[in-house]
Amino acid sequence: MKFLPVTLSLAATLVASSALAQSGYTIKLGVGTIDPRATSSDLKGTLPVYNPQVQQVIGTVGVSSGVQLEVQRQDTLMFSIERALNEQWAVELRLGYPPKHDVKLRLKDPVLTGPGPYVAGVQAKLAANDGLVVAGVRQWAPTLFLNYKFGDKTSVLRPWVGVGVNHTTFKSSTTAVGNELYHDGVVRVKLSDSTGLAFQTGLTYQLDQNWSLQASWMTAAVKHRLSTYTDQSAQKATYRFHPSVFTAVVAYSY
């Protein structure tokens, strides 16, 4: 889905349609902390059984519950551009440097099925990796907001709120720990994109006519499907989460 070009086109249309704009653009640059608050549903499918004596996978066991993946928080650079429609309303496109989040293995009484020795071996391997980083996921999340600002442009402090739409694209890869966990050739991870509603609120402290400091909090409805494949196994899961993004930026208006 070519969401970013569509987003840019929509923002340009909204800006062009506003003949009442009383000011121009505001460029924002700063840092943000992204807390995904995301743990996957239980992985379901099969896991490979590796025999170190023959140095190969000798079969699989079924996994139905108790094995999950948890995305960790990350800091990143934040960037956005805002265009005033009038003194209260503005359109903002939030971007930022795509952060890479660590993904940890989490166990909650895993339920495995298969031959006893196979199950015991896989359970021991899972237990040894519980809480370790087994993968990394990089996200691109452009978000288009329509913001409403309280007060007027002469106010030193101006709170504001915004609603919009977010599109998140993911790219994932396993770590050396994750590859060792599977021990079954190349691990292929597929993550679906997500499009959902977004909300933000913030506060602007005006330094002078052009410069200001801003702090904000943002969240979005994000859901995606996870599929993991090796040569002899496959697992599926879903993520549904509402990340908290805390941002502090320096803004320049012209």
Q: Which CATH architecture has domain 3-206+219-253?
A: Beta Barrel (2.40)
pLDDT attached to residue 6: 45
Question: Strand ranges (DSSP E) for the chain?
Answer: 25-35, 38-39, 44-51, 56-71, 74-84, 89-94, 100-113, 133-140, 143-149, 157-174, 188-191, 194-206, 211-220, 222-229, 234-241, 244-253
Q: How do residues 177-232 score in pLDDT, each as one tens digit? A: 999 999 988 899 999 999 999 999 999 999 998 999 999 999 999 999 999 999 99
**Beta-carbon contacts of residue 108 (< 8 Å; ≥ 6 apart):** 65, 66, 68
pLDDT attached to residue 11: 47
- Which parts of the chain register pLDDT below 70? 1-23
pLDDT attached to residue 142: 95
Phi first, then psi, for residue 150 (nearest 5°) are -85, 160
* Rounded Cα distance, 150 and 18, in Å: 19
Q: Domain limits of the chain? A: 3-206+219-253
pLDDT attached to residue 14: 47
pLDDT attached to residue 186: 87
pLDDT attached to residue 23: 54
pLDDT attached to residue 8: 44
